[in-house]
Copies of this chain bind each other. A is one copy, B any other.
């Protein structure tokens, strides 16, 4: 099967939103008047963003999910995406699974595949996603990283650290009961982009980011761009790790109890969470709760934005904790 057959068989569908979809030099997209286009691009590389053993269906899901997560963090409604794919060889069963997982998530968010590229090379998946954000009286309604204010509450959606637990199990450095592993693996391989929450937070959140490199590292971007500091309740975050199981049921590699320190580490620096971290005025707590409910997403308050620069960690008793966490850096 050649390049053009491959595209036609696995990726070409009648275009819906696009004026012109897959199959010309460019795709043509007509933005709704009075909106801005939100654009994000993520590249996934084997061995770094996914394991070679991953089910291609799940990989298709994840490749789009991490991009939709960026739209969610901007409060943008998904519109369309392009897919550039380097494949070592044409493997029809892989392509069938990959495109199925990819397009199922795309359909769930009404996000249309409008173009892209395929080539031969080491496995690499590059998606660029497009969403729209309304303008109100000429002002963008996008959630940015730069709007956090001293006094704001700090929230995180969903759960934390689970993807990291799954990774450690795959690496052989951790052993957990099967149900915990299955849950963690699902979170690592098929993260849920918080698109509905992002939309519901427009006009409420003052700043937002999606957590890909670890909570504290990504919080650092909000703090730097907003010119503020924060105090984070480490144990409120740690309580979100493996939140569907009891801590006592999770044991380490040799059956030993996992330390409080380890739980905190997974929560604060785990990476690959794809949850939204956002700030909102303390006066907007009921609106945040409403946004969480309307989008059916759990949201937890884990700290406070402060005037004083820097990041402070406290435990459940309010005692200061040392911050030795480092976020994920692809070149560190």
Interface residues of A (CB under 8 A from B): 1-4, 6, 19-20, 23-31, 33, 36-43, 45-49, 70-71, 73-74, 76, 82-87, 89-90, 114-122, 124, 126, 128, 130-131, 133, 140, 142, 144-146, 208-210, 225, 329-332
Contact = CB atoms under 8 A, between A and B. Distances in A.
Which residue of A49, A120, A330 has the most chain B CB atoms within 10 A of its CB atom?
A330
B121 A41 contact: no
15 contacts: A20-B142, A24-B225, A25-B145, A26-B38, A28-B37, A31-B31, A39-B115, A41-B83, A43-B84, A43-B121, A43-B126, A45-B119, A45-B124, A121-B124, A128-B128
A114 to B, nearest CB: 7
Given A6-B331, A19-B140, A120-B330, A37 B29 contact: yes
How many copies altogether? Answer: 2
A40 B25 contact: yes
Given A29-B36, A30-B36, A43 B119 contact: yes
Contacts of A2: 329, 331-332
Nearest to A41: B82
Contacts of A122: 45, 121-122, 124
A1 to B, nearest CB: 7
B70 A25 contact: yes
B27 A39 contact: yes
A39 B19 CA distance: 11
A74 B24 CA distance: 8
A28 B86 CA distance: 27
A71 B39 CA distance: 18
Contacts of A26: 38-40, 70-71, 73-74, 76, 131, 142
A128 B82 contact: yes
A86 B116 CA distance: 18
A27 B31 contact: no
Contacts of A42: 84, 117
Which residue of A33, A41, A48, A122 has the most chain B CB atoms within 10 A of its CB atom?
A41
Contacts of A19: 36, 140
A123 to B, nearest CB: 9
A182 B322 CA distance: 60
Given A29-B37, A37-B30, A90 B331 contact: yes
Which residue of A71, A114, A144 has the most chain B CB atoms within 10 A of its CB atom?
A144
Nearest to A82: B41
Contacts of A30: 36-37
Nearest to A42: B117
A33 B37 CA distance: 12
Contacts of A210: 25
A88 to B, nearest CB: 10
A94 B223 CA distance: 32
Given A25-B209, A145-B24, A331-B1, A124 B43 contact: yes
